Structure 1
Amino acid sequence: MENDGNGNVGVPEAVVIDATMVDMGGGTAGCPLAATLSQNYSVLLLERGGVPFTNRNVSFLSNFHLTLADTSDESASQYFVSTDGVFNARARVLGGGSAINAGFYTRAGTSYVKRAGWDAKLVNESYPWVEKQVAHQPIFEPWQRAVRDGLVEAGIAPNNGFTYDHLYGTKVGGTIFDKYGRRHTSAELLASANAQNLDVLIHARAQKLVFDTTGKKPRAVGVIFKDEYGTQHKAVISRRRKSEIIVTCGAIGSPQLLLLSGIGPRSDLEKMNISVVHDNKFVGKNISDNPLNTVFVPFNRPVKQSLIETVGITKMGVYIEASSGFSQSSDSIHCHHGLASAEIGQLSTIPPKRRTQEAIEAFKRNKKDLPHEAFHGGFILAKLAHPKSRGQLILNNTNVDENPIITFNYFSHPKDLQQCVRGMRVVEKLVKSKPFVDFTNHDEATFEKLLNMSVTANVNMIPRHTNDTKSLKQFCRDTVISIWHYHGGCHVGQVVNKDYIVSGVHRLRVIDGSTFDLSPGTNPQATVMMLGRYMGVKILRDRLGTSAGV
């Protein structure tokens, strides 16, 4: 595309939209950010997906698994597989990850806040702003109670009760599902916006950023996007000095968009024939995903569905959590959760190299004889808190709608493997604890038997080994799955500065999980929502002082 120096590019445009702020990505961070900035500025929020409010698969806990199982182009969840052979998902809906996740709401620890260099006072103002609108105390069914009591008996003490705070020991965290099982996503935070100043466009797929390159440093001036019919448009920011574009496309989407826009490693961009706007070797690099390993625990009776509510926060760098349940009919029973799946676990009968998406769909259509009892169970989850293994994200092509090539290199760092083994030892203590045994009535089940069932229930494309249940290290490697807490690719100090301004260019920021070096808390969504509010307030106060009114 040719640039005349004023941000005007040679593309057909149906509409040119002018705004003071353009927020690209109506996700977990983008919604609170847009709502906050709209108090004082005109804001255009672009979201590539649709709205969550009329989608029952998004709105209700009981249908949680159905969004993840939907791999159509219209799904709120975009499926991808990393080169490691691990299935994963990214959001494609207003509300972002908060619309497709397991709903757990819990804050980052005070040490994390300090390490990030955030203003603790503003952080402690921003979390409650979010919580008043979307967070709830879970109902806390007997299964979760058994897990809590078992964790305490297993040594993950003390029992900290219900709290949003990140505390060593065992606790019950919050949830974005209310008592009726209805989800409250970050999209609901838009209700706090100044409606006069906010425009939200859905099905608006950002193609690339537009820069004015005539000055000493490139200056972001707009974005090219397509609507749901494929018609191309351009949104531009006003010429006022404080106008800017903020990218909030998530840990996959934000580095991908920067690369497509010419910000990234020169060699990677030139391979794709992308004009280099700013050479930055760190874009898309050092990404990480918290590896998850789970143990399937069968029950001899139905148990009400529950997602993550209880967590054991150990001092060894592992978090222990649990999920359970089934849906109302054998045709829709899933324990998938993106975490583990008793149903899709049966796919282990299909050789890994033949586990194409078509094979998966065919299998699900043809499965008629899966026993109902297979879904009377729960999963114990062991998640590494701060993995040292790092990977990268590179472009597969220049089509923004297609996933980039993503590698996480799970357990490539030996300390990660050591921590996983320690975590599985805690899980073993948990399943042997009296509260847990009393609930499951499976005292005769050895841990090795549970591991053997779990090898089947954990689905990935990694070949299995015969010693999976004998060697915990091998079990960790072979059964690793994702809990969707991937992060990095636009790190602070490498791609953005402490104010999340992209280095090497003017008027451009990235504010989302791609800036994290470590995943905050036991689940990042509370902190990502907090960060959107936090940075919105900070930007307004830095510019307007007390007159900002926030």
Structure 2
Amino acid sequence: MGIGLWRFILAAFAGVLVFFHGFCSSEKAPNYSFMHQATSAPAVSFYDYIIVGGGTAGCPLAATLSQNYSVLLLERGGAPYGNPNITNLGSFGAPFSDLSPTSPSQRFVSEDGVINARARVLGGGSCLNAGFYTRAGPDYVAEVGWDTGMVKESYEWVEKVVAFEPPMRQWQSAVRDGLLEVGVLPYNGFTYDHIYGTKVGGSIFDPDGHRHTAADLLQYANPTGLTVLLHATVHRITFRRRGKVRPVAHGVIFRDALGKKHKAYLKRGSKNEIIVSSGALGSPQLLMLSGVGPAQHLKAHNISLVLDLPMVGQRMSDNPMNAIFIPSPVPVEVSLIQVVGITHLGTYIEAASGENFATSNPQRDFGMFSPKIGQLATVPPKQRTPEAIAKAIDSMSKLDETAFRGGFILEKIMGPLSTGHLELQSRNPNDNPSVTFNYFKEPEDLKRCVNGIQIIEKIIESKAFSKFKYDYLTVPALINITLNFPVNLVPRHDNASTSLEQFCKDTVMTIWHYHGGCQVGTVVDHDYKVLGVDALRVIDGSTFNYSPGTNPQATVMMLGRYMGLRILSERLTSDLSK
């Protein structure tokens, strides 16, 4: 690939970037002329590129490829625009507690017993997450083999639209100062870069608390080159044989909201491709449903084998999160993740605060860590039954609103090293696959968690945090919170690391950073082409061996743009050489 070519492409679109940045920063929802309900799609259609999944990677990828080619972007959910539960920072948590079939969040429970969620909306996880925006570290970029300059330009392309410097108020400032006081140094100020020490990261929430998502990146698209279909659920990819030996992807079969079947095919051309960007659960699931995966597993589900690719669905990982709630004697502002401590001990320290309203009765919910969204840390994972959740919600409803003053400090471990696997439960693409993450299977992961909890305990005891801490010995009202609050408080232990290890296992939650299942080297090559198949790539977080940086969304969006540019450059090089 010629580096000069992609720089030429970037320069050619520079004016477009400036224009769209101003448009994207407005509060008005974009009027996408290329976005339609799948019910309006023809029975058969043809495109240069078909992208399955309009999520965090799919949107920037589609916007980039549409500059030169016809692109079909298929999204199984709806649009995020006009939904205040997605747009407003204070409503974080509401989509997670919505269990309806039309919710932008689809709940799943791993075989480990931890309740989790996958996106079902244009923009993907960027419509649901806590908003933290931070890049991967230079070591990660070098290990993956990405071009450093192109990565930087791709991040900046994303940041012009969706990334902001968050306002630093009291809770986040106290966490920042506490991290510095306990030795998580140096202080790196506000930066998107992944640097050891304490920093203020970016946010996809603007200063007014409005969320900007990967769907906003579609404003970069060439409207004549892109078609986005909503509520379009892809059932399988279709293949033909090249020389009766190597399978070639050439189309997809999808159904609209009414269940009507549609077919989309690649136009004739050796460089046209289908690209799967359906996320860490959706991408391996779709490959298997299409006949690409472990032969015996597919046979058990009566799926015709296209290619035996045993590592599809393997090496699934989810970064375990453990959080401690700190009740505050004074009111606390609403904040999601803004500050992070990047330690040398393999753990990241972050925080959230305030009453993150998730229902019409905000005093009875605590968005990011509410049992209503499945974050029930006071009950060990295998015991987080519907009955246990209902009991926790009932306990929460009886608490005085003062119990909801405060916030959380959480730790997430690097990596992680522990991995599991994903399997089909049915041939219905709307059903969740079965997934096992094997939290803390590797001892190093458990050690990192213990290190993180110990840092959190020190921060809570720091002078910087004293304003937000009750005197546990003299405040009787706190007893009621301690006994009834359905989220874990500071662990009680006897100086033994073993008890903290058990605390980590019993209180583990997800931070929604799961990845793997279609990893580079085992399922796709370094160009993200599926091994053993032509005209098929996977570009999303399912290809990651480890979660990048402290939070992956920036890198997933960057990857969509990066690979879009690489594909354009490769085709331009090929055309010029003819």
Q: Could you say whether these structures have the same fold, taking a TM-score greater than 0.5 normalized by the shorter chain as the test?
A: yes
Aligned partner of 1:388 in structure 2 is 417
The change in CA–CA distance for 1:146 and 1:453 in structure 2 (over 3 A counts) is farther
Deviation readout 1:127-151 (Å, 9 max, x if unpaired): 0000001100001111000000000
Is 1:183 matched with 2:211? yes
What are the within-5 Å matches in structure 2 for residues 454-533 of structure 1? 456-457=486-487, 471-533=499-561
CA gap 1:474/1:161 in 2 versus in 1, 3 angstroms: same
Residue type of the alignment partner of 2:438: N
Structure 1: gaps spanning 5 or more residues: 1-12, 460-464
Letter in 1 for 2:300: K
Equivalent pair of 1:107/1:520 in contact (CA under 8 Å): yes
Cα 1:417–1:238 shift into 2, 3 Å? same
Q: How many residues align?
A: 529
Question: What is the identity, as a one-letter code, of the residue corresponding to 1:527?
Answer: T
Compared CA separation, residues 421 and 358, structure 1 to 2 (3 A): closer
- 2:149 aligned with 1:110: no
Once residues 494 and 306 of structure 2 are traced to their aligned partners in structure 1, the CA distance between those partners, rounded to angstroms, is 51
Deviation readout 1:85-119 (Å, 9 max, x if unpaired): 10101100000000000000000000000001000
C-alpha contact (below 8 Å) 1:295/1:450 kept by paired residues: no
Q: CA RMSD in A?
A: 3.0
1:290 and 1:136 mapped to 2: Cα distance? 25
Do residues 98 (structure 1) and 133 (structure 2) align?
Answer: no
Greater mean alpha carbon deviation, residues 489-498 or residues 324-333: 324-333
Contact kept in structure 2, 1:44 and 1:198, CA below 8 Å:
yes
Q: For residues 467 and 332 of structure 1, do their structure 2 counterparts lie closer, same or farther at Cα, with a shift above 3 Å needed?
A: farther
Residue number in structure 2 paired with 1:332: 362
2:36 — aligned with what?
none
How far apart in 2 are the matches of 1:280 and 1:334? 48
SS in 1 for 2:466: helix
Structure 1 CA distance for aligned equivalents of residues 196 and 111 of structure 2? 34
Which residue identity is paired with 1:54?
A: G
Q: Which residue of 2 aligns with 1:240?
A: 269
Residue 546 of structure 1: CA displacement? 11
Give, in whole Å, the separation in 2 of the partners of 1:454 and 1:497.
51
SS for the counterpart of 1:257 is helix
**Cα 1:143–1:454, aligned 2, differ >3 Å: closer, same or farther?**
farther
1:256 alignment partner in structure 2: 285
Tell me the residue number matched to 2:404: 375
- Match for 2:404: what amino acid? F
Matched AA of 2:48: T
Q: Deviations over 1:405-427 (max 9, x none)?
A: 01000011111111111111111
- Partner amino acid, structure 2, of 1:176: I
Equivalence map 1:11-30=2 (5 Å): 15-30=43-58
Q: Distance in 1 between matches of 2:328 and 2:411?
A: 20
Could you say which residue in structure 2 is the equivalent of 1:298? 327
- Give 1:375 deviation, angstroms: 1.1
Q: Secondary structure at the match of 1:195?
A: coil
Q: Deviations 1:250-294 (Å, cap 9, x if unpaired)?
A: 011000100111111111111111111110110000111101111
Give me the whole-angstrom Cα distance separating, in 2, the residues matched to 1:126 and 1:237. 27
> 2:54–2:124: 8 Å Cα contact kept in structure 1?
yes
Distance in structure 2 (CA, Å) of the matches to 1:445 and 1:543: 71
Distance in 1 separating the partners of 2:324 and 2:347? 15
CA offsets, 1:472-531, max 9 Å, x none?
Answer: 000001100000101100000000000000001100000000000000011000000000
- Between the aligned partners of 2:337 and 2:447, the Cα distance in structure 1 is 24
Give secondary structure in 1 for the equivalent of 2:362. coil
Match of 2:116 in 1: 88
Q: TM-score, normalised by structure 2?
A: 0.86
Identity between Structure 1 and Structure 2 (%): 55
Within 5 A, what are the aligned runs for 1:2-13?
none
Tell me by how many angstroms 1:366 deviates: 9.6
Cα distance in structure 1, aligned partners of 2:374 and 2:250? 48
Q: Any residues of structure 2 matched to 1:130-279 within 5 Å, and which? A: 130-213=158-241, 215=243, 216-279=245-308
Deviates more, 1:271-280 or 1:361-370: 361-370
Would the aligned equivalents of 1:106 and 1:173 in 2 still touch at CA under 8 Å? yes
Gaps of 5+ in 2: 1-40
Moved more, 141-150 or 319-328: 319-328
**SS of alignment partner, residue 457 of structure 1:** coil
Q: Is the 8 A contact 2:112 2:381 kept in 1?
A: no
**In 1, Cα distance between the equivalents of 2:174 and 2:516?**
35
**Higher mean Cα deviation, 220-229 or 368-377?**
368-377
Secondary structure, aligned partner of 1:239: coil
After TM superposition, give the deviation of residue 376 of structure 1 in Å: 0.8
Distance in 2 (alpha carbons) for counterparts of 1:384 and 1:366 = 30
Contact 2:235 2:254 in 1 (8 A): yes
Q: 1:54 aligns with which of 75, 78, 82?
A: 82
